[in-house]
Structure 1
Amino acid sequence: MEIDLRRYLMVIKRWWWLLIIGAIIPAIISSYFTAKQPALYQARVTLMVGTTLQSSNPDTRAMQTSNSLAQAYAELVRYRPITEAVIQRLGLERSHEALASQIVAWVRPNANLLEIRVTDTNPKAAMMIANALAEELIRQSPGSRQGQRQQQQEFIKQQLDELEEKIEKKKAEIADLNDSLADLTSAAEIADTMARIDALEQVASTYRTQYAALLQSYMGDSVNVLSIVEPAVEPRRPIGGKAKLIVAMSAGAGLALALGAAFLIEYLDDTVHWEDGRQQAVAGLSILGAVPRMSSRRKTWAAIDRFRYPEIEAIRNLRTNIFLSTPGTSLDTILVTSPEIGDGKSFTVANLGLTIAVTGMRVVLVDADLRNPTLHEMFDRPNVMGLSELLSGDSPISESRPPMELQPTGVDNLFLLSSGRPPTDPAALLVSPRLPALLDTLEKFADVVILDSPPALIAPDAAILASIADGTLLVVSEGQTSNGAAAKAQALLSSRSGVNLLGVAFNRVKLVETYAYYSRYHDDGHGPVAKLRGLVTRWRRQESEDRPLVGLDEAAERLGISKGMARRWCKEGRLPAHKSRLRWWVKREDLENLVESLRNGDAEIIRET
């Protein structure tokens, strides 16, 4: 579980910029559009359904009925008969659908209160629409017609007063008859009076029954009655809206999408990753170290004097691990190769050679990449004569002295054997018996010979050289080399007999605190950085004679270097040339003399005349 969590954190750390962009861009876009929306105001009017709350003895069933009616009125207020009546009454220039979208109605449970809320960009219009909706709802409700109910109440009150007067009159008549019974002596008169009393009692009872019925109607609850409890007032402040919520949700959604995209990319990504040095192996090979990432402005080897101390320490760590990878075995010849083009094997060769040379050991770098040589450009050296001429020549290779094609790099104890002219069949030259003899001579001259070869999966040259070298280092590029390519290269090299795969070196790695720790030590001018800077030299030359001229393309071809490198030499004055009409021109005779001198080993540096 801990390993998985660490991998997830590594993904977040690697793609932090995507997560930030994924959250910021949706937040900015949503905030922009929400800011363009006008301010909204909301007015509220409250109505009461029924009259049970005004009764001293409310009926529970009537309250439940009123609550159900309130739910119905909450839906009815958004219907066309109500909205169109309000539109016509207020003279609004909007459709029924538009007005209905501005209305929100809801019922407070167990209170029989209906709230109608209207939202509008105009606060006064919101108030007027809310009150008009309430009044129109009251007007169109069957039991809430104010005029009719008032007339009914007045009529009932009048009837009650008349019945009360009649009842009192009958009671008086009955009382008078009862008083007259004492003066009567005739049985017939008494019987007649008693009959009249009974008749009056029946009439009075009828009046009382009618009175009770009318009184109940007058005082009783009305369920389907609407009345305004709190009218709407003009709102003073706009409602808060959901702008912040929308922005937050947009940012969250963008962050979630970016995180999902990052994990999807990582899932589909088959490239190797340094993972701060915690990974133990690639393609079954031990990881020996890393070469730090450098900016494109520092690709020229002369820029090594601007290396920071942590970068140098990282390369030293790789150097140390290489020699410790085979205890008890001498590594006189080391091959550096990579699975594919662009992994940075040549730059690793140059870095490794420099750090070994700093220790006082003599190092020879051999550019055995006869298909795409680059080491001579890293060290600003010509490529007129080199490995291809030595392997294709007829003269025997001297065992007592190094070949004259070997060039100083300007760094003490570090020498370069460039590739020379591109051969027609590089693999045929590398299987020549002259190559082992040449390596034996170089091993006598130097303590360590480092070979740079083509990528292992591009040409068979790497496999041929690996079988000759004492050890082979496989260079992979952080985030570029695929695990499949690394595994294929490992299998291809291991299939050759006599191949000793030392391990894997990462290239273009971003430094972490492990190496940055050493940068705390002070460099007082006598430390490693000052020593490296003192080892680097630059060539200068200048000559001005009036002779036949050649163009920059031809000069670069004769020297075996790129046009860009020849242009830089012209700017630095190391190649005799002058600029005319935005073009560089080189004197042909000087160029031929220079090439001949380089072939004969008579010219190491183009000196000022």
Structure 2
Amino acid sequence: MELQTYLNILWRRKWLILLITVLVVGAAYAYTVLATPLYVSTTTLRVVTIGSELGGRPDRDYTELLMSTYASIATGGTVRSELMRELGLDARPTIAVELIRNTELMKVQATAADPALAQSIADATAQIIIRESRQQFSGDGQSVLEILQRQVQQVESELATARQNYDQLAQQNANDSSALDAARKSIELKERTYSGLLDDYETARINEAVRANAIYVVEPANLPANPSSPRGDVNLVMGLMVGLFLGMALAFLVDNLDTRLYANEQIEAVAQAPIIGEIPRARDSLRIAYSGNGHTAQSEAFRRLRVNVLAPNISGNIQTLLVTSAKEGDGKSTVAGNLALTMAQSGRRVILVDCNIHQPSVHELFDLPNEAGLSNLLAGHASLSGVTQETKIPRLHIIASGTDLLLPMNGVHSIMPAGLVDRLSQGAELLGSPRMATILAELREAYDIVILDTPAVTEITDAMVLAPFVDEIVLVVARHQS
């Protein structure tokens, strides 16, 4: 399908698209008006790592792991339970945590129907996280300090004893160099051990201080002034987009399921024949487009149709023409009558024969009686000259369907010759009889153009029965209906 085909479908189904769009936008508006407003308050925390606090470069993996741990704590059941107890909440609060990439910052967001409550929940959550952090790290840090402190005290005592022993040995055995060297090396070893323990102790003390304050509030929770949801502008825009999308999708679906013909390409594909004319639809379903030298849109359309029908490069030299349609009500009788009129006004002798003996209409088109016509002629109850009627248009004659042998039944007129059982099939037999062939031969001798107005091809077989007798067939299709 080409782009123009898609655009034609959308234009054809524009009211369906508009309806769906209006319904979806209306639903979005109703939701915006009826939904309970929700407010979001945000507090920002910093998660401190030891490397960053001491001026070094923090371990990124450790930092991300630590922040993920705090995020899990913040959204866990323990924090929510404490919040419910501290704030007297009846339902579990809605809390979300956002970790800001490449930073030590995390945002705690609390959502509630009341802005002040959302702020209280965010602040309380931050304080509970800080309290939990201090309780977890403070005890472990103190145990390490105590162990290191005992080791420092022990090494201090051993170092003092070693120095005292060295002084005594130096006074008593000043000449014993080997013993003095051994005592001096022992003192140096203990001094190095003592110095290392002091460094470890200082590091542990700093770590304790950092861990005790490893997380703190950078930005307190704000008091939201406007609700975060529902967002009226966003909802309406989304409703418009969704409505248009659903409307267009439904338009393509409906068009795909619709078997009626809309585009010229569809008509040509089904009929397997080229389109030779397009006639604008008239307000009256049954009327002559013009008399005299009319210049309406319809009259010009019928002139173009006449040219195309008679053009040698399209249909060759034709004399007999059958006009039928896909279904009743498509306007075939109107087309047949106006085509006959335009051909007569071009100087040709034309006769229009109403072969629709079940639902005749040609006589109404030209405001003529239907007392005798084709049915009488086929039954042998009238002569050709006796059923031929002149119209107000020069060189244009008609043969009506006739009524002498027509009886109404359920709104449908049918031929009723003696011994007839199946009226529809007998009608087709009469139209396909040698008598009909003889009548057409006589009409060819008397007229330049013979036009047969027949029933719709999908209703009965009359048009197909007459098809072998004619030079050209014009199929009338009512766009958007057939």
**TM-score range normalised by the length of the shorter chain:** 0.7 to 0.9
TM-score, scaled relative to structure 1: 0.59
SS in 2 for 1:87: helix
**Does the aligned pair in 1 maintain the 2:318–2:471 contact within 8 Å?**
yes
Residues in 2 aligned to 1:286 and 1:41: alpha-carbon distance in whole angstroms: 66
> Which residue does the alignment assign to 1:604?
none
1:384 to 344, 367, 371: 371
SS in 1 for 2:225: coil
> Which residue does the alignment assign to 2:285?
299
Aligned-residue offset at 1:116:
0.2
**Does the aligned pair in 1 maintain the 2:309–2:315 contact within 8 Å?**
no
**Pairing of 1:217-236 with structure 2 (within 5 A):** 217-220=204-207, 222-223=210-211, 225-236=214-225
**2:282 is the counterpart of 1:285:** no
> Which residue does the alignment assign to 1:576?
none
Residues in 2 aligned to 1:338 and 1:460: alpha-carbon distance in whole angstroms: 12
Aligned-residue offset at 1:298:
1.6
Residues in 2 aligned to 1:274 and 1:110: alpha-carbon distance in whole angstroms: 60
**Does the aligned pair in 2 maintain the 1:67–1:111 contact within 8 Å?**
no
SS in 2 for 1:301: coil
Residues 224-280 of structure 1: CA deviation (Å, up to 9, x unaligned): 7322222112122333766555554554444444444444555566655543x8987
User: CA 1:308–1:83 in 2, change beyond 3 Å: closer, same or farther?
Assistant: farther
Letter of the aligned partner of 1:93 in structure 2?
D
TM-score, scaled relative to structure 2: 0.72
User: CA 1:53–1:233 in 2, change beyond 3 Å: closer, same or farther?
Assistant: farther
Number of matched pairs: 437
SS in 2 for 1:467: helix
User: CA 1:282–1:115 in 2, change beyond 3 Å: closer, same or farther?
Assistant: closer
**Pairing of 1:335-484 with structure 2 (within 5 A):** 335-394=322-381, 397=383, 402-403=385-386, 406=389, 408=391, 413-421=395-403, 422=406, 423-424=415-416, 425-431=426-432, 434-436=435-437, 438-439=439-440, 447-481=448-482
**Does the aligned pair in 1 maintain the 2:51–2:57 contact within 8 Å?**
no
**Does the aligned pair in 2 maintain the 1:144–1:226 contact within 8 Å?**
no
SS in 1 for 2:276: strand
User: CA 1:84–1:369 in 2, change beyond 3 Å: closer, same or farther?
Assistant: same
SS in 2 for 1:45: strand
> Which residue does the alignment assign to 2:412?
none
Report runs of 4+ in structure 1 exceeding 6 Å deviation.
204-211, 277-281, 326-329
> Which residue does the alignment assign to 1:55?
53
> Which residue does the alignment assign to 1:71?
68
**2:108 is the counterpart of 1:107:** no
> Which residue does the alignment assign to 1:539?
none
Residues in 2 aligned to 1:12 and 1:261: alpha-carbon distance in whole angstroms: 10
> Which residue does the alignment assign to 2:44?
46
**Does the aligned pair in 2 maintain the 1:319–1:356 contact within 8 Å?**
yes
SS in 1 for 2:126: helix
User: CA 1:412–1:92 in 2, change beyond 3 Å: closer, same or farther?
Assistant: farther
Structure 2 unaligned segments of length 5 or more: list them: 407-414, 417-425
**Does the aligned pair in 1 maintain the 2:355–2:453 contact within 8 Å?**
yes
2:125 to 125, 129, 133: 133
2:307 to 317, 320, 335: 320
**Pairing of 1:438-587 with structure 2 (within 5 A):** 438-439=439-440, 447-481=448-482
Residues in 1 aligned to 2:334 and 2:344: alpha-carbon distance in whole angstroms: 15
Letter of the aligned partner of 1:367 in structure 2?
D
Residues in 2 aligned to 1:394 and 1:214: alpha-carbon distance in whole angstroms: 133
SS in 2 for 1:115: strand
Letter of the aligned partner of 1:232 in structure 2?
A
User: CA 1:109–1:52 in 2, change beyond 3 Å: closer, same or farther?
Assistant: farther
User: CA 1:55–1:290 in 2, change beyond 3 Å: closer, same or farther?
Assistant: closer
User: CA 1:135–1:360 in 2, change beyond 3 Å: closer, same or farther?
Assistant: same
Say which structure, 1 or 2, has more relative contact order (CA 8 Å, 6+ apart): 2
Residues in 2 aligned to 1:328 and 1:369: alpha-carbon distance in whole angstroms: 24
Letter of the aligned partner of 1:76 in structure 2?
I
User: CA 1:140–1:382 in 2, change beyond 3 Å: closer, same or farther?
Assistant: farther
Structure 1 unaligned segments of length 5 or more: list them: 179-186, 482-609
Residues in 1 aligned to 2:129 and 2:102: alpha-carbon distance in whole angstroms: 21
SS in 2 for 1:289: coil
Aligned-residue offset at 1:92:
2.1
Identity of aligned residues (%): 29
Aligned-residue offset at 1:51:
5.2
Aligned-residue offset at 1:44:
1.0
